[in-house]
Amino acid sequence: MPVADYATYCRMLANAANNRFAYAAINITSETTANAVLRGFAEKKSDGIIQVSTGGGEFASGLGVKSAAKGAIWLAEYVHRAAAEYPVYVALHTDHCAPKKVAGFLVPLIEETERRRAKGLTNLFNSHMFDGSELPLRENMDASVPLLERCRANEIILEVEAGVVGGEEDGVSHEGAPREKLYTTPEDMLEVYRRLSVVKGARYMFAATFGNVHGVYKPGNVQLRPSILRDGQAALRKEFGEGASFWLVFHGGSGSSPEEIRETLSYGVIKMNVDTDTQYAFTRPIADHMMKNYDGVLKIEGEVGNKKLYDPRSYLKKAEESMTARVMQAVDDLQSAGTTLFRS
């Protein structure tokens, strides 16, 4: 099935919210990692979200180009073709885009979708994330609202964030962030809802922070408080009526316990980013291959090595298999197995 269109993507997210599960949102950097994600979703009969970050896009464009936007476009075009081979829906999303990167990353991608729509083609990306969390909330929303207006005009869903996800991802570090910034307050959530609701007809997702941290840490080092999500949603209903709620996003989910994940689902999380764990799953079998076949992958002491062992396909197939397995685990953790809306 081709990449989901706007109406289907909205149905996907509403289905997750109504049935208390979430979609795994997996970052890709290559055709191989894209294939791993697509197969993982299909094996579990779950729809899902494929993400490209600024760093992932730059990597995909190659060292001779080094363009985050161009690399993201090329990866998205590949996914549009490859996804048609699988009996599930997938949505394409861009991950954290800081304010300083909007002009060079988000804007070119939205422009590419505008060009496609003018030709009667489908959107390139289904959704984008603007991460204005480094800004004071008012400035964050001042930047988010015009982006949301442009996204609405092109049937794109916007994800925004208020508060700071700790740790480091894709070269962006919040290691020294004040502890209070790791927790979004109900007042912040009310203000986000108030500001974004002025864009009538727009759809958006909100990444509220509740102590979540990018990366993997030993048990006990990350203090999650999912009740923040519960309290924020309750504040929305009290202020704006029973129909008010957020489609929430869980960032920094790697290493979280199944119990913590399930609790967030009950409070409205419909998307969880998984990147660190799938990176490790991809790399682990490559390291194993190199260690076990050292004499074969290197031409040492005058020998010629073993072409079958240093052929990149020999270890990248193992990497793809391992990443697929980790995607399938994420689907199970998020309780989305068997929920696909696709009907052949």
Written as one string, the DSSP assignment of 206-249 is EEE-BS-BSS---TTS----THHHHHHHHHHHHHH-TT----EE
**Tokens matching residue 29:** 């950097």
For tokens 């609790």, the residue is 263
Annotated catalytic residue 95: yes
Of 47, 95, 275, 277, the active-site residue reads 95
Rounded distance, CA 302 to CA 295, Å?
11
**Tokens matching residue 155:** 């049937």
**Tokens matching residue 186:** 């109900």
Rounded distance, CA 10 to CA 31, Å?
26
- Partnered with residue 130 across adjacent β-strands are 160
**Tokens matching residue 100:** 């300083």
Q: Please state whether beta strands 127-130 and 168-169 pair in parallel, antiparallel, or not at all (unpaired).
A: unpaired
Q: Helical H runs in the chain? A: 6-19, 31-43, 54-61, 68-82, 107-118, 137-153, 186-196, 227-240, 258-266, 276-292, 294-297, 307-310, 312-333
Instruction: Count CA atoms closer than 13 A to 173's CA, side-chain side.
Output: 3
Catalytic residues: 95
